[in-house]
Structure 1
């Protein structure tokens, strides 16, 4: 019965998929017949055993807060774009961040090793 009620109060839905995160925007109906918005962030996680789980966070936004919420959201987006531009500069948002980090560590270690190879090995028996 709960599933039917869930379907009944869902009026309009949109989905935004971004890497390991999915955002759901749902217009829903209250018992009184008014509408409100839920924004759900769902993030895919992998356990140590490889099992896939989803961590969800949900925001309920009611019409009386729409204007203030939108103003602050617009202000914060403008601030971030003005301060840092539109280019994403955090590698952590890349899908293969861990692989790139590991590969960079290997390159750095190889570079250090090759730098030390430039020195002559001296054997104390030669002196």
Structure 2
């Protein structure tokens, strides 16, 4: 599936509420961020705490244009936690960290505007 990051992208095909519930989007807190120089596109390796039911998961995130590595630990982010893990170079990305493209196409992280418990599910 090709993702269109433009604000003028057409609306996706209609889905059912049951289809929506299949996508498990949770909140986690970034514990650690490291450079990922081996990635084809500039990215960081993130270690994210999703609470006791899901645990700690790894994610590759292409967010280097708008975030300094030192400002990421402690930040809450939303991620899809029920995709199969994806091999990116020598790194296994276990969750898809979510974001939106800004006017320049750089990724802005998607997060709650107030702190919520790690592992909270989007509904």
Q: Is this a same-fold pair by TM over 0.5?
A: no
User: Relative contact order (alpha carbons < 8 A, sep ≥ 6): 1 or 2 greater?
Assistant: 2
Going by fraction, where is helix more abundant, 1 or 2? 1
Highest Rg: 1 or 2? 1
- Shorter-chain TM-score tier: under 0.3
| TM-score scaled by length of structure 2 | 0.24
| TM-score scaled by length of structure 1 | 0.24
